[in-house]
């Protein structure tokens, strides 16, 4: 089990602006994209390298390149797309999976409405992205589904996590490392992370 809190000052600064209820939809979206570049740097830090023979203008060299098949970003809809966009700037050749899930407001259970992923998930690193890990129902369901379709090498990247969500997630999927910008105080009685930033999807898309 591994949980990494990305406490880089730029990440923390941008996260504070995102938490602020005065931040506009456009500002929230832009910051999520910016922060995803910084989080993406951390979540890919230990990717394996091989070498390839190239010729610089001066001489041949064996230069480092990423080893293995292109990785997969699996976005948990809707809000995962805010992280996905920046991550694709970082790794433009990555493959993408979409996992459509929403939280039932009464039960807080994750309800699946869409799934599309590359067929060879078992051969690739799959980085699952969703800004919020609250009860962890959505993240657990997304990873259950990806594993049922063959994924074995996964990571989970979020922006904010609740301690309750981290505990449930790491119990359900101890083999999946978690990366987050912060672990907040707790969940409130409605399953929202507090202090948190509110409903990530609504803040990204202005749907409240
Ligand atoms: C939010 C968020 C996560 C989920 C986290 O999505 O983006 O997917 O809640 O909560 P959990 O850990 O308790 O499952 P939501 O269900 O609001 O859907 P949306 O992204 O379509 O708004
Ligand atoms: N989903 C969100 O978007 N925000 C929360 O605080 C909890 C779940």
Q: What is the pLDDT of residues 158-189, one digit of tens each?
A: 999 999 999 999 999 999 999 999 999 999 99
pLDDT at 135: 98
Q: Separation of 46 CA from ligand 1 center, angstroms?
A: 28
- Segment 22-39 mean pLDDT: 97
Beta strands in 85-168 (DSSP E): 95-103, 110-116, 125-129, 132-133, 153-157, 160-161
**pLDDT mean over 61-88:** 96
Which positions ≥6 away from 20 have C-beta within 8 Å?
Answer: none
Mean residue pLDDT across the chain: 97
Determine if the peptide bond prior to 78 is cis (ω within 30°): yes
pLDDT digits (tens, 9 = 90+) for 188-197: 999 999 999 9
Within 6 Å (CB) of ligand 2, which residues are found?
A: 132, 134, 192-193, 196, 199-201
Average pLDDT over residues 76-95: 96
What are the helix and strand counts (H, E) for the chain? 6, 14
Q: Which whole-number Å values give the CA distances from 200 to 13, 33, 49, 105, 161, in the listed order?
A: 17, 13, 35, 15, 12
pLDDT value at residue 1: 83
Mean pLDDT of 73-83: 97
183 C-alpha to ligand 1 centroid (Å): 16
Q: What pTM did the predictor assign?
A: 0.97
Structure tokens at 172: 């359900």
pLDDT of residue 59: 98
Atom of ligand 1 minimally distant from the CA of 77: 20
What are the backbone dihedrals phi and psi of residue 147, each rounded to the nearest 5 degrees, phi first? Answer: -65, -40
Could you tell me which residues are beta bridge partners of residue 87?
none
Q: Which atom of ligand 1 is nearest to the CA of 191?
A: 13
What Rg value do the Cα atoms of the chain yield, rounded? Answer: 18
Tens digit of each residue's pLDDT (9 = 90 or more) over 124-160: 999 999 999 999 999 999 999 999 999 999 999 999 9
Q: Which residues, in sequence order, are bridge partners of residue 116?
A: 98
**Cα gap 43→121, rounded to integer Å:** 18
- DSSP E strands, the chain: 3-5, 49-55, 60-66, 72-77, 95-103, 110-116, 125-129, 132-133, 153-157, 160-161, 178-180, 182-183, 186-187, 193-194
202 is catalytic: yes
**CB count in 10 Å sphere of residue 93:** 8
- Output the pLDDT for position 208: 81
């Amino acid at each position: 089990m591994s949980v990494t809190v990305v406490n880089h000052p730029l990440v923390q600064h941008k996260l504070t602006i995102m938490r602020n209820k005065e931040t506009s939809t456009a500002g929230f979206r832009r910051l999520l994209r910016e922060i995803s570049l910084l989080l993406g740097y951390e979540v890919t830090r230990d990717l394996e390298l091989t070498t390839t023979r190239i010729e610089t203008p001066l001489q041949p060299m064996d230069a480092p390149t990423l080893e293995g098949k292109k990785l997969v970003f699996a976005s948990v809809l809707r809000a995962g797309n805010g992280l996905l966009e920046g991550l694709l700037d970082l790794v433009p050749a990555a493959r993408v999976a979409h996992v459509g899930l929403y939280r039932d407001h009464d039960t807080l259970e994750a309800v699946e409405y869409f799934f599309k992923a590359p067929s060879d998930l078992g051969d690739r690193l799959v980085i699952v992205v969703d800004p919020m890990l609250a009860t962890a129902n959505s993240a657990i369901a997304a990873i259950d589904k990806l594993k049922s379709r063959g994924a074995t090498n996964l990571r989970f990247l979020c922006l904010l996590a609740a301690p309750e969500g981290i505990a449930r997630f790491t119990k359900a999927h101890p083999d999946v490392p978690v990366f987050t910008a912060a672990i907040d105080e707790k969940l409130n009685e409605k399953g929202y992370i507090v202090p948190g930033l509110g409903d990530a999807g609504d803040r990204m898309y202005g749907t409240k």
